[in-house]
Amino acid sequence: MALNRRDLLKIAALTSAFPLFGCEKVTSELSKKLGQTIPEKFGIAHDAAVDRDFHLLSRATYGIWPGDLDYLKKCGRDQWLQEQLSPEKIDDGACELRARRFETLWLDPGTCAEFKKPVLRDELVRHMLLRAVYSKRQLLEVMVGFWTDHLNIDVNKGDAIYAKAFDDRKVIRPNALGNFRNLIAASATSAAMLIYLDGKENRRASPDAIPNENYARELLELHTMGVDGGYKQKDVYEVARCLTGWRIHSPWQRGQVYFDNDQHDNGTKLVLGHRIAAGQGERDLDSVLDIVCKHPSTARHIATKMVTHFVSDKPPPEMVQKVATAFSSTGGDIRSMLLAIFSSPQFDQYPAAKIKRPFHYIASALRSLAADTYAHSSLTEYLSRMGHGPFEFPTPDGYPDQSSYWVSTLLWRWNFALSLCAGNIAEVSVSLPQLAQAMGAEMGQGKGLHAEKMFAHFVGRKPNEHELEAFHGHLSIKPGESRDAELVGLMLSSPAFQRC
DSSP string computed for 89-110: GS--HHHHHHHTT-GGGGS-HH
Supply the minimum distance, in Å, between the C-beta of residue 394 and another protein: 5
Q: Which of 5, 40, 205, 252 binds another protein (CB under 8 A)?
A: 205
480 lies in the site for another protein, by CB under 8 A: yes
Residue pair 373/73 in contact by the 8 Å Cβ criterion: no
Q: What are phi and psi of 429, to 5 degrees?
A: -120, 145
Find the binder of another protein among 214, 330, 336, 434 (CB under 8 A): 214
Closer CB to another protein, 104 or 498, in the complex: 498
Among 181, 217, 356, 367, binds another protein (CB under 8 A): 217
Nearest CA among 446, 451, 416, 418 for reference residue 436: 451
Query: Is residue 483 part of the contact set for another protein (CB under 8 A)?
Result: yes
Residue 461 and residue 47 in contact, taking contact as beta carbons nearer than 8 Å: yes
Query: Within 416-455, which residues bind another protein (CB under 8 A)?
Result: 418-419, 421-422, 424
Residue of 277, 280, 275, 326 whose CA lies nearest to 300:
326
Q: Exposure of 180 by Cβ count < 10 A (0-12 exposed, 13-18 middle, 19+ buried)? A: buried
CB of 211 to another protein, least distance (A): 8
Determine if 467 is a binding residue for another protein (CB under 8 A). yes
Q: Is 473 in the site for another protein (CB under 8 A)?
A: yes
Min dist. Cβ of residue 174 to another protein (A) = 29
Piece of 140-148, 181-189, 197-205, 366-374 that binds another protein (CB under 8 A): 197-205
Min. distance of Cβ 237 from another protein in angstroms?
6
Q: Is 493 in the site for another protein (CB under 8 A)?
A: yes
Angle between helices 233-242 and 283-294 (to 10 degrees): 140
Taking the C-alpha atoms of residue 361 and residue 367, their distance in angstroms, rounded to an integer, is 10
Q: Which of 26, 45, 95, 236 binds another protein (CB under 8 A)?
A: 236
Indicate which single residue of 387, 427, 431, 437 sits in contact with another protein (rule: CB under 8 A).
Answer: 387
Residue 295 or 357 having the CB closest to another protein: 357
Residue 111 Cβ vs another protein, minimum distance, rounded to whole Å: 25
Spatial CA neighbour of 290 closest among 338, 335, 224 = 224
Question: DSSP assignment of 384-439, as one string?
Answer: HHTT--TT--SSTT-S---GGGGGGGHHHHHHHHHHHHTT-STTEE--HHHHHHHT
| The binder of another protein chosen from 8, 49, 75, 209 (CB under 8 A) | 209
Looking only at residues 393 through 422 of this chain, which bind another protein when binding is defined by CB under 8 A?
A: 394-395, 397, 400, 403-411, 414-415, 418-419, 421-422
* Beta-strand relationship, 274-276 and 372-373: unpaired
Look up residue 57 and give its DSSP letter.
Answer: H
Q: Is 236 helix (H, G, I), strand (E, B) or coil?
A: helix
Residue 348 per-residue DSSP state? G
Q: Can you list the alpha helix ranges (DSSP code H) found in 176-295? A: 180-188, 191-196, 214-218, 233-242, 283-294
Which of 226, 219, 314, 209 minimizes the C-alpha distance to 265? 209
Is 464 one of the binding residues for another protein (CB under 8 A)? yes
494: contact with another protein by CB under 8 A: yes
**CB closer to another protein, 334 vs 386:** 386
* CB nearer another protein, residue 50 or residue 421: 421
Q: Are 141 and 98 in contact (CB under 8 A)?
A: no
In angstroms, what is the minimal distance from the CB of 270 to another protein?
A: 13
Nearest distance from residue 224's CB to another protein, in Å? 14
Residues that bind another protein (CB under 8 A): 198, 201, 203, 205-206, 209-210, 212-214, 217, 221, 227, 233-234, 236-237, 355, 384-388, 394-395, 397, 400, 403-411, 414-415, 418-419, 421-422, 424, 464, 466-467, 469-471, 473-474, 477, 480, 482-483, 485-486, 489-490, 493-495, 498
